[in-house]
Amino acid sequence: MVAHFIELPLGKNLPPYTTTTNIKALLLVLTVMIFLLLIPLYLVRNSSPPWLSAKGNAMSIKYGKKCNIFRGKWLQHHNIAPYYTNATCREIFDQQNCMKFGRPDTEFLKWRWKPDECELPLFDAVQFLELVKGKSMAFVGDSLGRNQMQSLLCLLASVGYPIDVSYTKDPRFKRWLYVGYNFTLANFWSPHLVNAIDTDPNGPTYNRLMNLYLDESNHDWAAQIEAFNYVIFSAGRWFFGPQMFYENGQLVGCHACLNNNIKNLTMLYGYRKAFRTAFRTLIGLKKFRGMTILRTLSPAHFENGEWDRGGSCARTRPVGNSEMKLDGADLELYMTQG
């Protein structure tokens, strides 16, 4: 299987948050659930983040029996209003706002994740903010991480919006502060995690040759991450493109560069090294005391073909358990992360 995902990078020649797809709103909603899945992950690992050990909803999980929250299914959920809609959250950008542009169905808003062995509690925005008081959380990586951050903003919108405390006007690096709670939320755009130089910034966005410096974490996040309490890495789909791999400043090979004089390496080669480098950077930071979360592979935005070759994103319901197989390149990427 060849990658059928292309995401437009937020390059010079593109407005911020440009995407070609309408499914972003659906993704945004689904990522609410994904985000919720992140929370009880720690249960399984025996090191609870604060929002699990507090009183309230989370208790029902904490004192319940052990539960693998990753095994389960999506259930239709009609009784409870969605956590947010395009009308209740102003952080849904036009490119993600399918409803505003005429999407007729709303059923995609009404699903919940049901682990086989337990129930997930509903998200409680006030409780969440109480628990992360004085803490900071960073999403580092690609657009799914960014979506998850936006989703969290929307989840918390019932309490209020944070103020923008970004240190740059560049929308790829957002930083928000929930003043009453002194909770900082940040997003660092770095889809390769390591230093990546675009060899042709004005070329076609989906197929540009990137120079990846596999042993150098991208300074944009690495220089600022030390103080964060929670760091969530997201990377995957961007590694499918043509890439030159550098280590110690030397070209060591390439992926899909179509050059007979350069050693062919697989995309997994770069992928594995990029993660190692990112984790090594965190471990090497003396004052870093945070918790690191790795988001595993996400589905491509498009199905049944690449975005420009008949692929579509017409999905109206979550993927069923038997509907999609983790195979081919996706399986390889997933295994590489483990």
Ligand X SMILES: *[C@@H]1O[C@H](CO)[C@@H](O)[C@H](O)[C@H]1NC(C)=O
**At closest approach, how far in Å is the CB of 294 from ligand X?**
22
| Residue 99 binds ligand X (CB under 6 A) | yes
| Residue 277 binds ligand X (CB under 6 A) | no
Of residues 86 and 190, the one with the C-beta less far from ligand X: 86
* Stretch of 59-67, 131-139, 265-273, 304-312 lying at the interface with ligand X (CB under 6 A): 131-139
**At closest approach, how far in Å is the CB of 237 from ligand X?**
21
Q: Which secondary-structure segment (H or E) carries 176?
A: strand 173-178
* Burial (Cβ within 10 Å: 0-12, 13-18, ≥19) of residue 138: buried
Do the beta carbons of residue 60 and residue 121 sit within 8 Å? yes
* Stretch of 96-104, 144-152, 199-207, 244-252 lying at the interface with ligand X (CB under 6 A): 96-104
Of residues 168 and 259, the one with the C-beta less far from ligand X: 259
What residues from 181 to 200 belong to the interface with ligand X (CB under 6 A)?
182, 184
Distance from C-alpha of 284 to C-alpha of 303, rounded to nearest angstrom: 40
Helices 328-337 & 267-284 angle (0-180, nearest 10): 20
Q: Give the three-class secondary structure for 60.
A: helix
Secondary structure letter of residue 96 according to DSSP:
G
Q: Radius of gyration (Cα) for the chain, nearest Å?
A: 20
Of residues 7 and 91, the one with the C-beta less far from ligand X: 91
Q: Which secondary-structure segment (H or E) carries 103?
A: none
| Residue 134 binds ligand X (CB under 6 A) | yes
| Residue 260 binds ligand X (CB under 6 A) | yes
Distance from C-alpha of 47 to C-alpha of 66, rounded to nearest angstrom: 13
**At closest approach, how far in Å is the CB of 263 from ligand X?**
6
Which of 22, 86, 148, 150: binder of ligand X (CB under 6 A)? 86
| Residue 33 binds ligand X (CB under 6 A) | no
**At closest approach, how far in Å is the CB of 247 from ligand X?**
18
* Stretch of 93-101, 120-128, 152-160, 282-290 lying at the interface with ligand X (CB under 6 A): 93-101
| Residue 71 binds ligand X (CB under 6 A) | no
| Residue 97 binds ligand X (CB under 6 A) | yes
Alpha carbon 218 to its chain centroid, in Å, reads 17
Q: What are phi and psi of 50, to 5 degrees?
A: -55, -35
Of residues 237 and 255, the one with the C-beta less far from ligand X: 255
**At closest approach, how far in Å is the CB of 227 from ligand X?**
7
| Residue 136 binds ligand X (CB under 6 A) | yes
**At closest approach, how far in Å is the CB of 85 from ligand X?**
7
* Stretch of 40-48, 52-60, 215-223, 259-267 lying at the interface with ligand X (CB under 6 A): 259-267
Buried b / exposed e over 156-192, threshold 16 CB at 10 Å, is bbebeebeeebeeeeebbbbbbbeebebbbbbbbbbb
Of residues 186 and 196, the one with the C-beta less far from ligand X: 186
**Could you give the strand order of the β-sheet that contains 210-217, starting from the edge strand earlier in sequence?**
194-198, 210-217, 243-247, 250-255
Do the beta carbons of residue 243 and residue 270 sit within 8 Å? yes
Per CB under 6 A, residues contacting ligand X are 86-87, 97, 99-100, 134-136, 182, 184, 258, 260, 263-264
